[in-house]
Every structure is written in structure tokens, then in C-alpha cells.
């Protein structure tokens, strides 16, 4: 049985759907949901359809998946449509953050160490899903997504709650100076280890969300390292180049939607 990682404060909002998938070891490719890493497309699509069936919707859901490129590109989804769910050919191109207010549309990011960030404006009912590796974090994609929510939907950052999902932690993310120096302006975001550095991407993204105007009480950290918990989550670094990816997803429910996390 697939078990989901969920956020406590998201579950308090009855109109919200969210979930972070985990490994399922008796499933093909441990329930990887990535179409871009070389597994048979039909197997990954079957995994995705199994996931969709677990969401218990009485109405059709539409799933949006992007071709993630470690950019700071953001796409606003304005209509009910499915993109990138059964094929890479119609995925949103060159994009690492998705935003929508359309009910029944589920936004998805795929990761295996990078930081997935889910955002929800409780007043405007706007959601966003963000993929932040070190390059996206350096480009401040999380705060730029908040700003885009303000620009397009008039969101107030004080109404936005955030979930920073499982990702590689400071405990395991060792980088060289070439990467660490990108964040030397935030000394609390790394620890020296000889000529290497232990980088804390979840914390750096949290600080960027705070700088964008979110309240600290509204940012829920998973405190879960994918490398430490590799039995439950895919970790590219721990598994030395794994091809599996798990999915972090968020959407506004249709009227007759049953919350999987309740």
C-alpha cells in the first residue's frame, strides 16, 4: 500500500489536495514516477495511473508536469488541461515552478534530493509547486514564485502557507566550494567540512520564503532527508545516480473531492 507524506497545516484546508509520494518496493522501479529517466514509459504511466486512482476523485482531475531544467522559469496554468502526464512530448517546457487557481488541476514536481516546495494561498485559493535544486535556489525560484502569485492573482504573502517536502539535508549534501560560494551571503545555510561544505538547501529556501513575506509559523518543514531515508524516498546522491523520482503534488479540489490525507 502506497503511503504518502503530508503536511499538517495543509490538511486543515478542506479545499486542498496535496501529497508527496514514497517508494513502493513491490512495485516496478519502486514506484518511480519519472518519464525522463529511461524506464519503460508504459510502466511509469501505469504507476502514475495507480497514483491517480488513489486520489479517490468523483470528478476528473487534470495533472500538470513540467520538463524541469533547474531554471527559475514559472508557468501559470489558466485552464483545465493535462500536460506531461502520459508523455514527455506535451510536458510544460523548461519550467521549474507551476501556479494555478483552476479547480481540479493538480500541479506536480519530481525530485530525488532537490527541494520540492508546495504553496497555498488560503484566501485566493491559489496553489504552486516548486522544484529547487541548488541552481534554482541560487536563482531564488521560491521567492519568485511567491512574487508571481502576487502579480497574477493579487496574493498576500501573509495568506500563503508552505510545505518544504523531503529533500537532501545538510547532514548529507556535501558540495565543493564552487557550489557553496553561491551561498556565502547566508552563512547559516552551510557548514564547513575541511575543503568541502555541507549545504542546507531546505533552510536556504525557507529563508527566501520568509524574505518574500511568508510568516514563519506558516512554513512547515519536513525535516526529512532523502539520503538518510533512502528506503522511503529516492535519493540521487545516496543511490549513486538512481533513475527513480518521487512526486510532490498540490491542487484545489473539485466539489466532490475526498481528501486522501484525512
| CATH code: domain of residue 50 | 3.60.140.10
Question: In this structure, is residue 85 part of a structural domain?
Answer: yes
The domain of 186 spans 10-252
The interaxial angle of helices 201-211 and 141-153, nearest 10 deg, is 30
Question: In this structure, is residue 28 part of a structural domain?
Answer: yes
Question: In this structure, is residue 3 part of a structural domain?
Answer: no
Tell me, what's the pLDDT at 86?
97
Q: Give how many domains the chain has, as a whole number.
A: 1
Q: Mean of the pLDDT values across residues 83-101?
A: 98
Question: In this structure, is residue 132 part of a structural domain?
Answer: yes
Tell me, what's the pLDDT at 255?
63
CA-to-CA distance for 16 and 251, rounded, in angstroms?
Answer: 6
Tell me, what's the pLDDT at 57?
66
Question: In this structure, is residue 201 part of a structural domain?
Answer: yes
pLDDT, tens only, 200-223 = 999 999 999 999 999 999 999 999
Query: pLDDT grade, residue 257 (50/70/90)?
Result: very low
- Residue 110 pLDDT > 70: yes
Q: Go through 127-149 and write b for each residue having 16 or more CB atoms within 10 A of its CB, e for each that does not.
A: bbbbbbbbbbbbbbbbbbbbbbb
Cα angle for residues 228, 234, 237 (degrees, 5° grid)? 65
Between 2-6, 93-97, 154-158, the lowest mean confidence (pLDDT) is in 2-6
Question: In this structure, is residue 257 part of a structural domain?
Answer: no
Question: In this structure, is residue 260 part of a structural domain?
Answer: no
Q: Mean of the pLDDT values across residues 23-52?
A: 95
- Residue 181 pLDDT > 60: yes
Tell me, what's the pLDDT at 34?
97
Helices (H), the chain: 41-54, 134-138, 141-153, 177-180, 201-211
Reported pTM: 0.96
Average pLDDT of the residues of the chain: 95
Tell me, what's the pLDDT at 254?
82
CB-CB contact of 202 with 174 (8 Å): no
Amino acid at each position: 500500500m502506497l503511503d504518502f507524506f503530508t503536511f499538517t497545516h495543509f490538511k486543515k484546508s478542506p479545499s486542498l489536495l496535496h501529497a508527496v509520494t514514497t517508494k513502493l518496493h513491490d512495485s516496478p522501479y519502486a514506484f518511480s514516477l519519472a518519464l525522463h529517466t529511461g524506464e519503460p514509459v508504459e510502466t511509469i504511466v501505469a504507476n502514475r495511473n495507480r497514483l491517480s486512482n488513489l486520489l479517490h476523485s468523483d470528478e476528473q482531475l487534470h495533472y500538470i508536469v513540467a520538463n524541469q531544467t533547474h531554471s527559475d522559469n514559472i508557468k501559470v496554468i489558466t485552464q483545465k488541461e493535462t500536460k506531461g502526464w502520459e508523455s514527455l512530448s506535451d510536458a510544460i517546457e523548461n519550467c521549474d515552478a507551476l501556479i494555478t487557481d483552476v479547480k481540479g488541476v493538480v500541479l506536480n514536481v519530481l525530485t530525488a534530493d532537490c527541494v520540492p516546495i508546495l504553496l497555498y494561498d488560503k484566501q485566493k485559493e491559489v496553489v504552486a509547486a516548486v522544484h529547487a535544486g541548488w541552481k534554482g535556489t541560487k536563482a531564488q525560484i521560491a521567492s519568485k514564485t511567491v512574487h508571481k502569485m502576487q502579480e497574477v492573482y493579487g496574493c498576500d504573502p501573509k495568506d500563503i502557507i508552505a510545505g518544504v517536502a523531503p529533500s537532501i539535508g545538510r547532514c548529507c549534501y556535501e558540495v565543493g566550494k564552487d557550489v557553496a560560494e553561491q551561498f556565502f551571503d547566508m552563512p547559516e545555510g552551510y557548514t564547513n567540512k575541511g575543503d568541502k561544505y555541507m549545504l542546507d538547501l531546505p533552510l536556504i529556501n525557507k529563508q527566501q520564503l520568509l524574505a518574500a513575506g511568508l510568516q514563519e509559523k506558516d512554513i512547515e518543514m519536513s525535516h526529512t532527508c532523502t539520503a538518510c531515508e533512502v528506503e522511503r524516498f529516492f535519493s540521487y546522491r545516496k543511490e549513486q545516480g538512481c533513475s527513480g523520482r518521487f512526486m510532490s503534488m498540490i491542487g484545489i479540489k473539485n466539489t466532490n473531492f475526498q481528501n486522501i490525507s484525512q
